[in-house]
Structure 1
Amino acid sequence: MIIARSPLRISLGGGGTDLPSYYREHEGFLIAAAIDKYVYVTINRPFNEGIYLKYSEIEHVKTVDEVSHNIIREALKLENLNTPQVEISSIADLPSGTGLGSSGSFTTALLKALYAYRHRHINPEELAELACAIEIDRLKEPIGKQDQYIASVGGITCFAFHKDNSVTFAPLKISRETFHKLEDNLLLFFTGFSRSASEILKDQHIKSQKNDVDMLNNLHFVKEIGYLSKDALESGNTDKFGELMHQHWEHKKKRSGGMSNQDIDTWYETALKNGAIGGKVVGAGGGGFLMFMADDAAKLRTAMTKSGLQEVRFKFDFEGAKVIHT
């Protein structure tokens, strides 16, 4: 049995500029961090022929074309399994549709496991590009590349997305003191509901393709916040980083009417009055997790708990997608 895992992620600045509709014309930049919450994929050879799948649903089919799960179907097609005899299962530490890049984590974990199953090696950059090829090129999802890349690479990483579709990346250069401040004071709270990232990002994708001035100016500004966040964190100014998160959120809400709602706005205002410097909804928006940079983490935890939100504590992951059992 092969077991592979890929980390989920949080975005620390510049999110949204990793969509092809933006970076192919203007180049993108963002900071993302992998966290110690994972998607796990197991692959085994069953006794009988066929494809056996266990995720939120159960499938048993004879051919790859019959597979309903679109990502698994496309990944198996790439493997050219002429006489399929495989069992694939998936579980995750946190629900999908919550803004933590679960789709990209699933795809990279699946591919990592499939390569190990066929006794082949794939490096992190190749893994990320293959995952992007499945989700963006083959399945035409209106999403960006950050999820696949940070899941593959891990760490707290700066990514640049270039007009020729290439991606360059390097670790964020922060001190040990700043690292511990982030782990201690960057807090995640679950809103209690999920949403489809594709639906929310579709509006951004269409407007960017049409060169909508307001959308492009918004993304230009968010990209600049990404660079400023890099400078703030590398200089150890976590308070400034928190203020930039607030600016990011104010502009992010303008991209789509589905980005926020009355509950999220109320929770956000409560947080700002109770120990948060700034924050945002992680991912495409509309639900999932609220993330805050706190100057009083204990006070913020108390206020958010009283508001009915559940905190998910985390540490950063520096391993990326990996096989943990063969």
Structure 2
Amino acid sequence: MSVIYSRAPLRISLGGGGTDLPSYYSEHGGYLISGSIDKYVYMLTHTVFQKRYRLKYNQMEEVDAPGDVVHPIFREALSRHWEGSPLEIAVIADVPAGTGMGSSGAFTVCLLKSLYLARRRSITPGALAERACEIEIDVLKEPVGKQDQYVSAHGGICAYEFGTDGSVTVDPLEIDDRTMRQLRNNMLLFYTGEARSASKVLSHQVKQSAANDQVMLENLHRTKEMGHLSRELLEAGDLEAYAELMHEHWENKRKRSPGMTDERIDTLYTLARRSGCIGGKLVGAGGGGFLLVYARHPDDTRQAMAAAGAAELPFDFEFRGAIGNEAI
């Protein structure tokens, strides 16, 4: 039992995204709908015969102690949640970082899951998510929200309510089989060809929320309302109305911060709408990554987006959340 396998899913936000940042929910409470998908961050952790820490991601580090690690999440997770001998950890993911599907949160959740398994300790999804949030938000001071960590830890399609005291309530949606089949068939993801730093995009929102900027707060209040309405429509199976709400959600979101969109993204979204998409939006903070659309005629949309050079990422929803194996 010397090799630990762990994986944590990425996610697509389905309504209310942006209200999970402490700068907003600590005063007003937040609410969003999000679903984990079958695209993952994977890790292999080797626990024996290691003289130094060897970390393999898009770079490679070899150091004597956790405090010497350059990668901030690796450094803080190992410093706080590992007391054993040196480890070798290799990371790979289904999609590039900076593409709007919560890869940083999934990375942190996946790493902590592997460390707890290596210590032969169990941890609940809620505790796993909170420890990941602590590292990213409290320790590293990243201007990010709690959505990514919670969705990755829990899996499924859930409503997440963020209390002013920092508490998080997780409530799985009750979506019938017919509606799930329609979502799988008509909801499509396309890569815009741009990666971006979520922290840079979100820093403006954090600053304006903290300054009690009324335009920003009204935007986020409406976003939270759309989170509640998204749940109602998804559970009712009214997907065309939900898709129309996606369009409103995107129009509202693009007003929130500079850098939320660009000419390439606007062109792709216009092409998608002309091909029969009712609505859509960028997943994640904005500024690049993946465009999520709800298409009346999926094949027509695929053809239009392929002609524009936007590759599709086929996906399904997943319902397991972060998992691991004690031995391979």
TM-score (norm 1): 0.98
Match of 1:58 in 2: 60
Match of 2:49 in 1: 47
Secondary structure of 1:255's counterpart equals coil
Query: Equivalent of 1:24, from 23, 26, 35?
Result: 26
Match of 1:228 in 2: 229
Q: Which letter does structure 2 place at the counterpart of 1:16?
A: G
Secondary structure of 2:87's counterpart equals strand
Match of 1:256 in 2: 257
Match of 2:118 in 1: 117
1:116 to 1:265, Cα distance in 2 relative to 1, 3 A: same
Match of 1:237 in 2: 238
Conserved 8 A contact 2:189-2:290: yes
Match of 2:205 in 1: 204
CA–CA separation in structure 2 for the residues paired with 1:24 and 1:218: 16
Gaps of 5+ in 1: none
Conserved 8 A contact 1:62-1:84: no
Matched-pair identity in %:
52
Q: Give a deviation string over 1:105-155, Cα, whole Å, max 9, x none.
A: 000000000000111101100000000000000100000000000000000
Q: Give a deviation string over 1:66-90, Cα, whole Å, max 9, x none.
A: 1001001111111252x64211111
Instruction: Tell me how far 1:46 sits from its aligned partner.
Output: 4.7
Instruction: Tell me how far 1:296 sits from its aligned partner.
Output: 1.0
Q: Give a deviation string over 1:201-229, Cα, whole Å, max 9, x none.
A: 00000100010000000000111111111
Question: Following TM superposition, where does structure 1 have runs of at least 4 consecutive aligned residues deviating by more than 2 angstroms?
Answer: 45-48
Root mean square deviation of aligned Cα = 0.9
1:60 to 1:162, Cα distance in 2 relative to 1, 3 A: same
Conserved 8 A contact 2:81-2:112: no
Match of 1:35 in 2: 37
Secondary structure of 2:261's counterpart equals coil
1:116 to 1:105, Cα distance in 2 relative to 1, 3 A: same
Conserved 8 A contact 2:11-2:37: yes
Instruction: Tell me how far 1:48 sits from its aligned partner.
Output: 3.7
Query: Equivalent of 2:74, from 66, 72, 75?
Result: 72
Confirm or deny that 1:294 pairs with 2:291: no
Gaps of 5+ in 2: none
Conserved 8 A contact 2:50-2:85: no
Secondary structure of 1:254's counterpart equals coil
Match of 2:220 in 1: 219
Secondary structure of 2:88's counterpart equals strand
Conserved 8 A contact 1:63-1:84: no
Q: Which letter does structure 1 place at the counterpart of 2:191?
A: F
Confirm or deny that 1:96 pairs with 2:101: no
Conserved 8 A contact 1:5-1:321: yes
* Between 112-121 and 84-93, the greater mean CA deviation after superposition: 84-93
CA–CA separation in structure 2 for the residues paired with 1:262 and 1:113: 41
CA–CA separation in structure 1 for the residues paired with 2:269 and 2:326: 41
Match of 1:5 in 2: 7
Conserved 8 A contact 1:51-1:62: yes
Conserved 8 A contact 1:188-1:313: yes
Conserved 8 A contact 1:31-1:230: yes
TM-score (norm 2): 0.97
Secondary structure of 1:97's counterpart equals coil
CA–CA separation in structure 2 for the residues paired with 1:230 and 1:45: 43
Match of 1:272 in 2: 273
Secondary structure of 1:34's counterpart equals strand
Confirm or deny that 1:179 pairs with 2:184: no
* Between 84-93 and 11-20, the greater mean CA deviation after superposition: 84-93
Q: Which letter does structure 1 place at the counterpart of 2:101?
A: L
Secondary structure of 1:177's counterpart equals helix
Q: Give a deviation string over 1:172-226, Cα, whole Å, max 9, x none.
A: 1111111111111110000111000000000000100010000000000111111
Match of 1:147 in 2: 148
